[in-house]
Amino acid sequence: MIAIIGLNYKSAPIEVRERFTLTEDEAADLAKDILEFDEVHEAVVLSTCNRSEAYFVTSKSCASSFLNLVMQRIIEFRNFDESYTRYFYSYFEEAAVRHLLKVSAGLDSMVLGENQILGQVKTAYRISSSRKFTRSTLNKLFHKAFEAGKKVRSDTRINEGATSLSYAAVELAGKLYGNMANKNVLLIGAGETGELVLQSLYERNARSLFVTNRTFENAEKIADKYKGTAIRFEKYEDQLMNSDIIVSAVTVKEPLLTTEQVISILKRRNNPMLLFIDLSHPRSIDSGLKELETVFLYDLDDLNEVVAHNYRKRKNEIIKAEELLESYVSDFFEWYNALEFVPVIKMVQDVTNTIKINEIEAVRDTLNDAEIKKIEIFAASFAKNMQNTFIKNIKNLTKNRSYNQDTFETLSALFYPDSAKVSTGSAKDEQEN
Amino acid sequence: MLTITPYFHRFSELTSQFLLQAESTMFSNILMPITGLYLTGTILYIAYFITLRELTVKAAKIIMFPGLVAHAWFLYRLGIMESRFPMATVYEAMSFFVLFLILIYIYLEYTTKNKTIGAFVFPIVMLFQTISALNLEITSVDQTLFKSTLFGVHTFTAIVGYSAFVFSMILGVMYLSMFYEIKKRRFIFMYDRLPPLEMLDSMNSKSQVIGFIFLTIGILTGVIWAKRAWTDFSFFDIKILLSWFLWLLYLGSIIGRKLFGWKGRRTAYLSIAGFVVLLFTFVFVSLIFSSIHNF
């Protein structure tokens, strides 16, 4: 049985999740702990800030009540008590497989379609597989999950469109300007979002980056990171005329820039188009600028609107993504169900091969070399075709899942190799009878 | 072996006769199927604009490609048949115009890597293709007039110029839609699908310049050729006046951009105005006014 026990941002608040966030070594230790159960053969532990999950494989005969024992082990790992079970969820078999695929594809993430989770799943798998904590089932399952995660991201638009404020600002700049290579950027102030915007524009080969701050050293620090130039706060207005994208992230009592200032700047500019990104709260740029024809001013509300729009678009892709995942779920189960029949298939091969060998031996003395050769070729072909017919039909059974325990037992009885003890001269016996 | 030769001879004779007949039948009836293929492609491009499913645009190209080939072949054969440039009547010129529009679009799609522009371009293409296909008749016209190279240059440059202006208008419309969505923060359709504003604006300006150059050559060669062709030629013919008006309009737009920094919306509005004048020149005048320049 394939099973998952875990918690995520939907099932547990951050205070609880925090306590279950594991480092790579801790994840490996927990996996090892779970493997100590006799019934558990494989285990992988995934831990990010938004989820911690244990994926494991038990023997076929395990009942779902066994999962409670594993849950106990997990909770004990962090020395917590029974009450924490309410934050956990569990899945087994098909639901478990589907869950992992969804996680991989970013469909279970806080930011729908995010890319980071796929790398995190890969790392978690690597931690276990390198310690030989996985075998064929989880190996196959996780590789299917990687494939599915990649496919969903390439075939749907689930990961397209900026879902953070800084990326929304850069996306917007892209919609206005397209090519950044001849654009100049000015960052006023500091802060994570502002710096992220600067970084993204740097990565898009913006021509020049200028940074200004009331504290010159802070401006220098940021400018150095992105091969930009720091400007003293008293002097930044001179730079405005040459800037195409102006990002403002400062705390002010009054607007930094007024409409009149900007109008006079526009007159002196070559390109009348100008983009202001106001990341400040309260706003630092006169919102009257929005009225000017060639000026685009986006404040936090506007950027949030961009993010909301992109998020809606991603949600529209969910159904398509889920359909894609279903085909991977089916693929996996085709393989997984066929595993049961591996011993049966081996039996089929053993029986037919044994009969083939025995029959050839029975007639070897009565034939010359050339005839033996022909008989061997015939027998090999005959046995092979018979084998393949049976094996194909057995595999069809697993595809349609049209079997139960009885089927398994019947097949095993039919192809039990000991029944292949054929005595020599059996053909002669038949004729005489 | 020798006895087979006459049969082989007869066979190849019949085959070539059949092929010629088939070609001739195909030739006279090819326009409607081509229009059908273009129409299917147009619908698929619009579908792509709405759904953004790659399959629709791939299907559009596969369906339209044979139409394009057939179209080009048709015009070529027409020219050969009549021993002249295939642009002597309104509808022939229109057919050539459509072909050119599609070729320009292919170039545009290739350079911008943006396939949503097709949803704007192909409806316009369909408009002209339908008019042309329904009305085009293979007629012989007075040979001498239309065989001269000057005539060829005149019509060709006029058509290229007009194509550029059509694209300029389409780019202008796209610019304005994109502009309003971004300005009003109402992200409905264009924000996700159209090329960046600046790109739309610069492509529009380039189209206007190219169109203007070709229009200038077209008007000049037209005037020279017409003076030779018709004795009662007058500079105040309505069609020719309108062409000069069109010329002035685009000149104004280009100068305005260069000298007064008229960009963005102004360029867009001017390109739309230019298209309206162009349409009026081409359509209305032919229908209502009698003019020596019968098309």
- For the entire predicted model, the pTM comes to 0.79
User: Could you say which of B185, B192, B195 has the minimum Cβ distance to residue A305?
Assistant: B185
Query: Rounded distance, CA B152 to CA B222, Å?
Result: 10
Reduced to 3 states, what is the DSSP secondary structure of residue A247? strand
Whether B182 sits inside 8 A of A174 (CB atoms) is no
Distances (CA, A) of A38 to A41, A57, A66, A132, A240: 7, 11, 11, 16, 70
CA-to-CA dists, residue A390 to A1, A202, A385, B28, angstroms: 27, 63, 9, 62
Distance between CA A190 and CA A161 in Å, rounded? 25
- Given this model, what pLDDT does residue A429 score? 44
Active-site residue A62, yes or no?
no
CA-derived radius of gyration, chain B: 22
Phi and psi of A18, rounded to 5°?
Answer: -55, -40
User: Is the Cβ–Cβ distance between B234 and B288 less than 8 Å?
Assistant: no
Q: What CA–CA distance (Å, rounded) separates B292 from B295?
A: 8
Do B243 and B249 contact (CB within 8 A), yes or no? Answer: no
B2-54 per-position pLDDT tens digit: 667 888 888 888 888 888 877 777 776 888 899 999 999 999 999 999 988 88
DSSP 3-state percent helix, strand, coil across chain A (nearest 5): 60, 15, 25
Q: Give the C-alpha separation, A102 to A8, whole Å.
A: 13
> Comparing C-alpha atoms, which of B164, B120, B169 is closest to residue B272?
B169
pLDDT of residue B105: 94
Separation in Å, CA A81 to CA A10, A73, A76, A77, B77: 21, 11, 7, 10, 88
| List of long-range contacts for A163-167, beta carbons under 8 Å, 24+ apart | A163/A111, A163/A112, A163/A114, A163/A307, A163/A310, A163/A311, A163/A314, A164/A111, A164/A196, A164/A307, A165/A193, A165/A279, A165/A300, A165/A303, A165/A304, A165/A307, A166/A193, A166/A194, A166/A196, A166/A197, A166/A200, A167/A196, A167/A200
CB-based contact B181:B191 (threshold 8 Å): yes
Contact status of B256 with chain A (Cβ, < 8 Å): no
Regions of chain B where pLDDT drops below 50: 290-292, 295
pLDDT at B190: 85
Both structure tokens of B87: 């642009």
Nearest CA in chain A to B263: A272
Give the SS3 label for residue A340. helix
Token pair recorded at residue A239: 């730079």
Q: How far is CA A67 from the centre of its chain?
A: 24
Catalytic residue among A14, A18, A24, A49: A49
Interface check A10 vs B, CB under 8 A: no
Chain A closest CA to B146's CA: distance in Å? 46
In the three-class reduction of DSSP (H, G, I as helix; E, B as strand; rest coil), residue B59 is classed as helix
Question: For residue B243, how far is the Cα from the chain centroid?
Answer: 17
Yes or no: say if B215 and B161 are a contact pair by the CB < 8 Å rule.
Answer: yes
Distance CA B106, CA B113 (A): 10
Contact state of B199 with A178 under an 8 Å Cβ cutoff: yes
- Strand-pair category, A2-8 with A89-92: antiparallel
Of A157, A176, A306, the CB nearest to B196: A176
The H or E element that residue A153 is part of is helix A136-155
Judge residue B88's burial from the number of C-beta atoms within 10 Å of its C-beta, 0-12 exposed, 13-18 middle, 19 or more buried. Answer: buried
* Weakly modelled stretches of chain A, pLDDT under 70: 400-402, 417-433
Q: Do the chains contact at B197 and A294, CB–CB below 8 Å?
A: no
Element holding A112 (H helix, E strand) = none
CB contact under 8 A, B198 and A176: yes
Cα–Cα dist B56/B60, whole Å: 6
**Which element (helix H / strand E) includes A47?**
strand A40-47
Helix, strand, coil content of chain B in percent (nearest 5): 80, 0, 20
B98 neighbors B125 (Cβ within 8 angstroms)? yes
Note the pLDDT of residue B295: 46
User: Which residues on neighbouring strands pair with residue A53, listed in sequence order?
Assistant: A6, A46
The CA R_g of chain A, rounded to the nearest whole Å, is 33
Q: Token pair 């115009």 is at which residue?
A: B97
Confirm or reject contact between A373 and chain B (CB < 8 A): no
Q: Touching check for B50 and chain A: CB below 8 Å?
A: no
pLDDT, position A383: 93
Which candidate in A158, A172, A175, A293 is best for mutational testing of the B interface (most B CBs within 10 A)? A175
pLDDT of residue A422: 43
Task: Name, in order, each residue with C-beta under 8 angstroms of A109's C-beta and a sequence gap of 6 or more.
Answer: A50, A103, A117
pLDDT at A71: 92
Contact A161 B192 (CB under 8 A): yes
Are A188 and A136 in contact, with CB atoms under 8 Å apart? no
Q: Please count the CA atoms within 13 angstroms of the CA of B162 that sit on its side-chain side.
A: 27
Three-state DSSP at A54 gives: strand
Nearest CA in chain A to B194: A175
Residue A400: per-residue pLDDT: 67
Question: Contacts of residue A313 in chain B, CB cutoff 8 Å?
Answer: 192
Using an 8 Å Cβ cutoff, are A244 and A271 in contact? yes
Rounded to 5°, the CA angle B279-B283-B284 comes to: 105
Query: Looking at residue B145, what is its pLDDT?
Result: 61
Hey, is the C-beta of A311 within 8 angstroms of any chain B C-beta? no
Q: Do A179 and B191 touch (CB under 8 A)?
A: no
Strand order in the sheet with A40-47: A40-47, A51-58, A2-8, A89-92
